[in-house]
Every structure is written in structure tokens, then in C-alpha cells.
Amino acid sequence: MNQVRDYLERPKLYYNIDGVGELGIGFMYLTYALFAWLEARAPENSFLNRPYGFLVYMTAMVSIIHYGSKAIKERITYRRTGFVEYTARDKYWIPFALGAGISALLSVGIALAMRRHWQASTLVSLLVGLALTAGYIRIARTVRWKWAVFIVMLAGAFMIAALPADVTEAFANHTDLTRAIPARTLGACWLTFVVFGVVMMISGGISFWLYLRHTEAPEVEDE
């Protein structure tokens, strides 16, 4: 029965066969970090500090990820190893449920961070790091060497949480956001997104390179 389950899982794991899934997630983490960095340094009346600024930025980021992945799949992956169209449940509902779950977890983290008297900075950044690492398990299951990436992420989450307060504070000091969230928490979370984004981009890049090396488009003939 395990073999049946294995066959049913394979098409789902196929999405990241070329590393594009990881590249997309890594890009998303880095753009979150970039937005936080820009927002912190932009003047108070800048569009980045307006409520719609984040919305515009998010729309641009999601569009780049969606159309960028689609272009790579259309031009490279579908021609080399085939096309798969997922069910609405896999395409929309599961990502939506996962997104809602992670957002809820992050909201709890932010709520904890805003209670300054709790001094929960370490816990919050660890929570964010562990949530992002847990999300990676699905990808790590596809290829054995990805477990090394998982361990790097896990170690990264603990190391960032264990950084001295003045180091993490230095990343977020003198920004408007620190009026609501302690600078050390904000800095640790920002650092988490940067580190995880870079790790995902490297891992996705290696997968993409390996995919290009080991696959080639078949000659066109009748099937």
C-alpha cells in the first residue's frame, strides 16, 4: 500500500523537480526582507509607508513569481520531462490553507512581540524560523540531499534566535516599525527572511542546474 501512496505523491513532488518552487519561495522571502528594509529607510510620506504600498509591492512580487515560474515551466520543464496540471484542491485549497496556517502562526508571533514586557524576542524569531523550516519538509522529502538544506535552515533558526540582542537590534534600529515591535525582534525576523531566502535560492539554483544537466528535450515525433 505504501507503493500506491508513493505513486499518488509523485506528481505533487514533480512541481519542484527543476527547483523552480524553491526559487520562487526564496525570491518571496528576499522580497519580504527587501520591502521591510526599504520601508524602514524610506521617508515617512513615501508610498512604501502608505497602506497601499505593501499591496502594490505584494502584487508585483506575486506576479513575478507566478509568471516567472510559468515561463520557466513552459520553456524548459514541460519540454523536457512533461506537463502536469494539478487538481483545484492542490492548486488552490491546500496552498490557501497552508498560507492561512502560517499567517496565523506569524500573527501570534507578532502579537507576542508587541508585548514588550514579555521579552519574547528569542521565542518569536525562533517561531518564525521553525515555521519556515517546517514548511520545507515537503520539499526535503523529494531528494535526499535536501535534508542537508533542512538541517541548515533548522540550525539557522536556532542561531538567529541565539544572536546577542545588540546584533539583531542593529538591523532594525531607528525605524518606524520599532514603535510597535522591539528592534531586536524585528531585526531577528528580518535576518531570518534574508538567511532563509538565500538558502532557498541556492538550493533551488542547484536543483535547476542539476535538472538542466541531467535532462534534455526528446526529439519530436508522433506518440
Chain positions contacting another protein, by CB under 8 A = 1, 4, 7-12, 14, 74, 78-79, 81-88, 90, 218, 220, 222-223
CB 23 within 8 A of CB 73: no
CA dihedral sign of residues 39, 173, 30, 51 = negative
CA distances from 126 to 25, 32, 46 (A): 19, 18, 32
* CB nearer to another protein: pick between 77 and 168: 77
* CB nearer to another protein: pick between 39 and 90: 90
* CB nearer to another protein: pick between 74 and 166: 74
* CB nearer to another protein: pick between 44 and 222: 222
CB 130 within 8 A of CB 155: no
Write down the least CB distance from residue 85 to another protein, Å. 5
CB 208 within 8 A of CB 23: yes
Write down the least CB distance from residue 10 to another protein, Å. 6
* CB nearer to another protein: pick between 94 and 106: 94
Write down the least CB distance from residue 23 to another protein, Å. 21
Amino acid at 213: R
Write down the least CB distance from residue 108 to another protein, Å. 33
Nearest to 23 by CA among 201, 167, 192, 157: 201
Write down the least CB distance from residue 84 to another protein, Å. 5
CB 133 within 8 A of CB 158: no
